Amino acid sequence: MTRPPSLRHEAVEIGRVVAVSLALAMTWSTLAYQPFTIPSASMEPGLIEGDYLVVSKWAYGWSGASLPLAPRPGEGRLLGRHPARGDVVVFRHPLRPDEPWIKRVIGLPGDRVQLRAGQVFVNDLPFARTALGSGRSASDPDRPATRLRETAPEGTRSWITHDFGPGAPGDDTPVMVVPDGQYLVLGDNRDNSLDGRWPPDVGVGFLPAANLIGRAEIVVASWKPGASLWKPWTWFNLQGRWFTPIR
């Protein structure tokens, strides 16, 4: 007759299963894909507060920033690749690496970037802007905005931005020359984004390549403000955004 396993044996087996599961999850989130939530309105209208998105880690290779426990990014990247202009990237803030931020890559190494009356110029070539009518900020619905389609000079990619009118801080900048191994990033909610137009103690400054976590790929779902993992009664407070590709 087979002797039933002891409670100690069962506990050890359960511990092994849990340890292997955690190791696999950690490996997957380090090397392949990792989920993030959008904490602010700086990427409206394409991404809104409460969006739950997936980031591909392998898109640009790996650095210390790829590790989930947020160590210092260090220097260099394993199998590093440049983001393309227009990519939406998640990265560790240059001064506060425990904070993941999300912005759009506008300037690549060596580019000369400038904003003039809110319009972006790269190497003296303008980003075309086409008005799409009025819009509203999900985080500030009482503030009218203009929706603009912004197209990079190469003409191959475009995205939607919000503009709240002339004269906003950051609408006019000096020429910013992007250093080697770094990028200039901007928020799509152009008048409500602390980004590469400001030094890192205020915004982002130039973003080191080593700080990149990955490329934002898809919005899986979106929760209304106030929803939280720790509030089970809010789990179904959804905003109707499902499996939306990020452009």
The single-letter code of the amino acid at 50 is G
Annotated catalytic residue: which of 57, 103, 137, 222? 103
CA–CA separation, 136 and 46 (whole Å): 12
CA–CA separation, 85 and 245 (whole Å): 17
Return the H-helix or E-strand segment holding 21: helix 7-31
Q: From residue 231, give the alpha-carbon distance in Å to each of 51, 189, 242.
A: 17, 29, 21
The question of whether 66 is a catalytic residue gets the answer no
Residue corresponding to tokens 């070539």: 125
The question of whether 103 is a catalytic residue gets the answer yes
Annotated catalytic residue: which of 42, 63, 66, 137? 42
Within a 10 A sphere around the Cβ of 207, how many other Cβ atoms? 27
* Active-site amino acid positions: 42, 103
